[in-house]
């Protein structure tokens, strides 16, 4: 029970700190403003033409709704979120929180777990509110779209990338003493994965015809599924059909990301253990 109480305490503290630092709030507000503005601007052009049947109309507007939301959100979660949360552990050292925790019987696993759970809770709650608001604006402005596909994008797309890449951002910076160094390390690690992995596999093809992409933290199979699948299925883009991603590749990408996260968590735990023994 003590470990669970400690985990809840650290997670609660981390949850509050992410909102107090405002970066998460700014990111969610930027998404809402950009997406809401796109919906309001395009609203009249998405009204149902008289010569289009209801089923076809719903396919078209649903594809536009998902594409409009996912374009800024997917890239933001994959690239901006890990940099944004990279200072979670270094700030504890700057504020003296880490010294306080070291004087208490808090295990390294509980500390890392609390950091991750608190960050995940903050990001997922922010995502849920932002996506719900965008859906409300869409229904009020246009009035129709496939809510099931939108929820799938929110869960399999947004939530999975937030959990995977947010976790990477927190754990990759575990050994850094300052906020600036933590951010630089995470940016460098992302660049290394994104630029070097395709070169190692000798394939830069965005058609995702090779399994190496499921290891890339850019999460291209997930990104492409909600950028191109919905357009191709609605018949809006012939080119998108060549970039369609099967559900199995999305599943494999999520599983590979969880495996990456587990390995990096073990390395972070090992570094904290080595540091405490070195003292």
Q: What is the pLDDT of residue 106?
A: 74
Q: What is the pLDDT of residue 217?
A: 84
Within the chain, residue ranges assigned H as helices are 2-20, 23-42, 54-75, 81-84, 88-95, 97-102, 108-141, 147-152, 160-172, 179-200, 220-224, 230-233, 238-241, 247-278
Q: Which residues have CB under 8 Å from 111's CB, separation 6+?
A: 10, 101, 272
Q: Hey, how many other C-beta atoms are within 10 angstroms of the C-beta on 154? A: 24
Report the distance separating Cα 111 and Cα 81, nearest Å: 21
DSSP letter (8 states) at residue 52: S
Percent of the chain with pLDDT over 70: 78
Torsion of CA 275, 194, 196, 84, to 10 degrees: -30
Tokens 């933290």 belong to: 217
Contacts 24+ apart (CB under 8 A), 188-193: 190/79, 190/82, 190/83, 190/217, 193/217, 193/218
- 28-50 pLDDT per residue, tens: 999 999 888 887 777 666 655 56
Is the confidence at residue 276, as pLDDT, over 70? Answer: no
Q: What is the pLDDT of residue 209?
A: 45
Q: What is the pLDDT of residue 48?
A: 58
- 221-257 pLDDT per residue, tens: 898 888 887 776 666 665 565 567 788 888 889 998 9
CA 67, 70, 74, 76 torsion: positive or negative? positive
Percent of the chain with pLDDT over 90: 32
Coil/strand/helix, residue 67: helix
- The pTM (predicted TM-score) of the whole model is 0.87
Alpha-carbon distances of 140 from 39, 134, 198, rounded to whole Å: 10, 10, 43
């Amino acid at each position: 029970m003590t470990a669970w109480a400690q985990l809840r305490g650290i997670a609660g503290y981390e949850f509050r700190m992410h909102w107090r630092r405002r970066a998460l709030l700014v990111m969610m507000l930027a998404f809402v403003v950009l997406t809401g503005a796109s919906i309001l601007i395009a609203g009249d052009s998405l009204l149902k033409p008289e010569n289009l049947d209801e089923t076809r109309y719903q396919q078209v507007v649903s594809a536009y709704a998902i594409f409009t939301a996912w374009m800024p959100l997917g890239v933001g979660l994959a690239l901006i979120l890990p940099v944004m949360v990279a200072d979670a552990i270094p700030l504890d050292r700057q504020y003296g929180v880490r010294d306080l925790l070291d004087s208490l019987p808090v295990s390294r696993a509980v500390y890392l777990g609390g950091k991750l759970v608190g960050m995940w809770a903050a990001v997922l709650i922010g995502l849920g509110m932002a996506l719900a608001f965008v859906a409300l604006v869409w229904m009020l402005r246009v009035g129709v779209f496939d809510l099931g596909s939108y929820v799938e994008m929110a869960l399999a797309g947004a939530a999975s990338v937030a959990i995977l890449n947010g976790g990477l951002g927190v754990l990759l910076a575990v050994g850094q003493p300052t906020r600036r160094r933590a951010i630089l390390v995470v940016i460098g690690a992302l660049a290394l994965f994104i630029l070097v992995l395709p070169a190692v596999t000798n394939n830069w093809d965005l058609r995702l015809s090779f399994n190496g992409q499921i290891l890339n933290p850019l999460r291209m199979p997930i990104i492409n599924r909600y950028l191109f699948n919905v357009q191709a299925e609605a018949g809006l883009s012939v080119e998108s059909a060549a970039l369609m991603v099967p559900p199995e590749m999305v599943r494999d990408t999520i599983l590979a990301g969880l495996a990456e996260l587990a390995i990096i968590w073990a390395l972070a735990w090992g570094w904290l253990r080595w540091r405490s023994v070195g003292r």
